[in-house]
Amino acid sequence: MKKVKTTVIGSYPVQINNMELMKKYFNQTEISWEKYIKKAVEDMVNAGIDLISDGQTRDPFVNIFFRKLKGCRIRDRAEVIDKIEHVEPITVEDQKYVKTLLPPGKELIGLLTGPYTLTKTCVDLFYNDEKQLAFDFADALRKEAKILQKHVHMIGIDEPFFSISIPEYARELIVKIIKGLSCPTRLHVCGDVSNIVPKLLEIPVDVLSHEFKASPHLFNVFKDYSFKQHICLGSVRSDDTRVETAEEIKTHIEKGIETFNGRISQISPDCGLRLLPRNVAFQKLKNLVKAKEAITIW
Amino acid sequence: MFSFTKEQKTLEISGVKIGGQPGMYPTVLFGGLFFKGEPDFENAKKHIQNMLSLSKKTGNPGIPDFFIRREEHLESIIDFIEENLPTGYPFSIDIIEPSLKIIALETLHKRKLLHRTIYNSIHIGVTDEEREALQKHTPEMAILVAFNPKDKSSDGKIEVLSNGANLLDKGLIDISKEVGVKKTLVDTAALAPGENSGASIAAIPVVKEEYGLPTGCAIHNVVEKSTWLNEFKTARKTVDVSSNINIPLYGGDFAIYGPIENTDLVFPVIAWQDILVSEYTENYFGVSPVDYHPRRKFF
């Protein structure tokens, strides 16, 4: 049986020391973010997570991309003011750094914020055509993915806005990014996806990732379908500071095993952990690992 | 040379006016004191007198910027300010450590000097305690340093001013309003060569057009960090002084020009540049310079 991996959706809470950054400004010395990435990665490693992310400590997950894509600028919200173009690697350097921190046996997931989510979270002052904007974001993300695939074990695409209003071109949009990639891919859609499951199942990624802990009714919804993708089972809440016990998580995973049989390939928090206190996020990951280890059939 | 479509605020502290459309007011010049070692008050006195004299000659207001590194220097520097600056004359205090900034605000309050104080500065390192202290003992004016470690471009500077770049709960402009500072200047945060140092100049018109606030920077810092200039020792000072002309040329309102020892060179250079800007902006945009503008003084 293929190993089921513990993983994360993306973000991890690390406190940024603003005064330290400011002192570097006053001394005119180089600013590095590696310290913060390292903290996030070390916590994931120490918690026992198998497939690790860079923690997305630099920015909220949309701003990481808005900040570096040509055609965008960040004001109160991100604004699109010109044609979207990928002009430089966005996340690649951080992944290279994370790889230097990983002990043997640990793997790395590279993360992309989905084109539809980018489209829905910006103020479009240029295109006036949502579909065209989404496809230009997808094109830019495809370029990022092509570089990224050489440095990571899997690429995850985070598309929370699909759960609010999935467009009829959702499949086409994601395919544009993943087509021809040599590494496996995961699509994460948080929120209640119960009404869009058939559309999600049309998308040819390797793994579908959803919030099964916050939306346990999804077990019943997925029961009605047969599908090829594997499942990343959201197993601890990312919007609640209560730390689930390993026993509670184990019971949840068992429910997942019952529903999906052998299709679970990853277990993770429901979503990014950015908004939780760091000690809470760490404990949740530890208990997630403990619960997975207690599953005897794995 | 240009004029802004956004209405430009003119702020006043103890009779010194700063801001407005390019060509209207002379560039305000901040000369720094006590960067290193123990404060040398005798030397400082001499340099401040010189600054005031040159300021009178060219019309460019000169503001001494007191760098306070240690708590034990605080009282003596404030004594010096009270005894040696003309009555009611403005000054700025330049402190890095948040805890010392809080003590300085309390001291300035006790000494009834806050109405003359330019607080240098509020930035992403502002702590909750500092915010409380600012609310309690509010200086007349503050400088907001638009340094954004995530984005060194003009956009990044606007971001940190408007929303704090996710490093603060709100932007620096809202923080200054929240603590009750009514008059704010924006320092566009000059960075070392190789770190998009030109963005501090390019950001001046961007910030002024976005907020209408008086804007400037310490472009001198970039020269200081240009180690390649060591090969041109005789030119270093010329480059240092002349770097400041970028500020009025790009519509800026103030220059933090480094050590007050550079006063003799900086004032005439900036006066010359102010005249150049004023000639054009009056002819093309109809912006008349005030009566103490260098163009009025020398022509």
B85-128 confidence digits (pLDDT tens): 999 999 999 999 999 999 999 999 999 999 999 999 999 999 99
CA distances (Å), origin A210, targets A32, A123, A204, A276, B101: 33, 27, 16, 19, 48
Is the C-alpha dihedral spanning B45, B48, B54, B56 positive or negative?
negative
What pLDDT shows up at residue A2?
66
A75 and B158: CB-CB below 8 Å? yes
- Classified as helix, coil or strand, B110 is helix
Would you state the torsion angle of the CA atoms of residues B231, B236, B239, B243, taken in this order, to the nearest 10 degrees? 110
End-to-end CA distance of chain A: 8
What pLDDT shows up at residue B299?
85
- Taking a C-beta distance cutoff of 8 angstroms, is the pair B290, B274 a contact? no
Burial class (CB in 10 A: 0-12, 13-18, 19+), B128: exposed
Distance CA(A100)–CA(B194), nearest Å, equals 26
Domain membership of residue B2 (yes or no) is no
Distance CA(A78)–CA(A133), nearest Å, equals 14
Q: Which residues contact B147 (CB under 8 A, 6 or more apart)?
A: A22, A25, B123, B124, B157, B160, B189, B191
Instruction: Tell me the two tokens of residue B245.
Output: 């002309």
Domain membership of residue B157 (yes or no) is yes
SS3 of chain B: helix, strand, coil, percent, to 5: 50, 15, 35
Residue A192 DSSP one-character state? -
Tell me the pLDDT of chain B (299 aa) as tens digits. Answer: 889 999 999 999 999 999 999 999 999 999 999 999 999 999 999 999 999 999 999 999 999 999 999 999 999 999 999 999 999 999 999 999 999 999 999 999 999 999 999 999 999 999 999 999 999 999 999 999 999 999 999 999 999 999 999 999 999 999 999 999 999 999 999 998 888 899 999 999 999 999 999 999 999 999 999 999 999 999 999 999 999 999 999 999 999 999 999 999 999 999 999 999 999 999 999 999 999 999 999 98
Question: Letter for the amino acid at B93?
Answer: I
Domain membership of residue B1 (yes or no) is no
Q: Which residues contact B87 (CB under 8 A, 6 or more apart)?
A: none
- Taking a C-beta distance cutoff of 8 angstroms, is the pair A62, A119 a contact? no
- Taking a C-beta distance cutoff of 8 angstroms, is the pair A116, A159 a contact? yes
Reference A174, options A166, A73, A63, A182; nearest CA is: A166
- Taking a C-beta distance cutoff of 8 angstroms, is the pair A186, A154 a contact? yes
Counting one residue from chain A and one from chain B, the pairs whose CB atoms sit within 8 A come to: 58
Domain membership of residue B19 (yes or no) is yes
Distance CA(A242)–CA(B193), nearest Å, equals 48
A60 and B168: CB-CB below 8 Å? no
Neighbours of B153 (CB within 10 A): 17
Instruction: Tell me the two tokens of residue B231.
Output: 């090969």
Residue A120 DSSP one-character state? H
Residue B192's closest chain A neighbor by CA? A28
Domain membership of residue A298 (yes or no) is no
Residue indicated by tokens 């891919």: A185
CA of A13, closest CA in chain B: separation in Å? Answer: 13
Residue B97's closest chain A neighbor by CA? A19
Helix residue ranges, H only, B22-153: 41-58, 71-84, 98-110, 128-136
Reference A218, options A239, A241, A201; nearest CA is: A201
Tell me the pLDDT of chain A (298 aa) as tens digits. Answer: 468 999 999 999 999 999 999 999 999 888 899 999 999 999 999 999 999 999 999 999 999 999 999 999 998 889 999 999 999 999 999 999 999 999 999 999 999 999 999 999 999 999 999 999 999 999 999 999 999 999 999 999 999 999 999 999 999 999 999 999 999 999 999 999 999 999 999 999 999 999 999 999 999 999 989 999 999 999 999 999 999 999 999 999 999 999 998 899 999 999 999 999 999 999 999 999 999 999 988 8
Considering CB atoms only, which of A26, A31, A74 is closest to B149? A31
Number of independent structural domains in chain A: 1
- Flag whether the ipTM exceeds 0.90: yes
Distance CA(B295)–CA(B293), nearest Å, equals 5
Number of independent structural domains in chain B: 1
Put simply, whether B100 touches A (Cβ < 8 Å) is no
Distance CA(B194)–CA(B204), nearest Å, equals 19
- State the DSSP H helix or E strand holding residue B30, giving kind and residue range, or none if neither: strand B28-33
Using left for φ > 0, alpha for ψ between -120 and 50, and beta otherwise, residue B103 falls in: alpha
What pLDDT shows up at residue A1?
47
Distance CA(A287)–CA(A266), nearest Å, equals 15
**CATH number of domain containing A100:** 3.20.20.210
- Domain that residue B151 falls in: 10-298
Put simply, whether B170 touches A (Cβ < 8 Å) is no
Is the C-alpha dihedral spanning A241, A242, A244, A248 positive or negative?
negative
Q: Which of A72, A74, A80, A274 to mutate to test the interface with B (most CBs of B within 10 A)?
A: A74
Q: Helices B199-211 and B154-162, interaxial angle, to 10°? A: 40
Considering CB atoms only, which of A22, A59, A63 is closest to B147? A22
Which residues on adjacent β-strands are paired with residue A269? A236
Residue A253 DSSP one-character state? H
**CATH number of domain containing B235:** 3.20.20.20
Domain membership of residue A154 (yes or no) is yes
Would you state the torsion angle of the CA atoms of residues B272, B276, B279, B283, taken in this order, to the nearest 10 degrees? -170
A75 and B167: CB-CB below 8 Å? no
Domain membership of residue B179 (yes or no) is yes
Q: Which of B68, B121, B152, B159 to mutate to test the interface with A (most CBs of A within 10 A)?
A: B159
Considering CB atoms only, which of B96, B155, B221 is closest to A74? B155
CA of B125, closest CA in chain A: separation in Å? Answer: 4
Reference B97, options A74, A19, A69; nearest CA is: A19
DSSP conformation letters of A162-175: GGT---TTHHHHHH
DSSP conformation letters of A4-65: PEEB--S-------HHHHHHHHHTT-----HHHHHHHHHHHHHHT-SEE--TT-SS-TTHHH
Put simply, whether B159 touches A (Cβ < 8 Å) is yes
Domain membership of residue B35 (yes or no) is yes
Distance CA(B139)–CA(A120), nearest Å, equals 42
- Domain that residue A112 falls in: 5-293
Instruction: Tell me the two tokens of residue B125.
Output: 């390192």
Distance CA(B250)–CA(B247), nearest Å, equals 5
- Classified as helix, coil or strand, B284 is helix
Q: What is the mean pLDDT of chain A?
A: 96
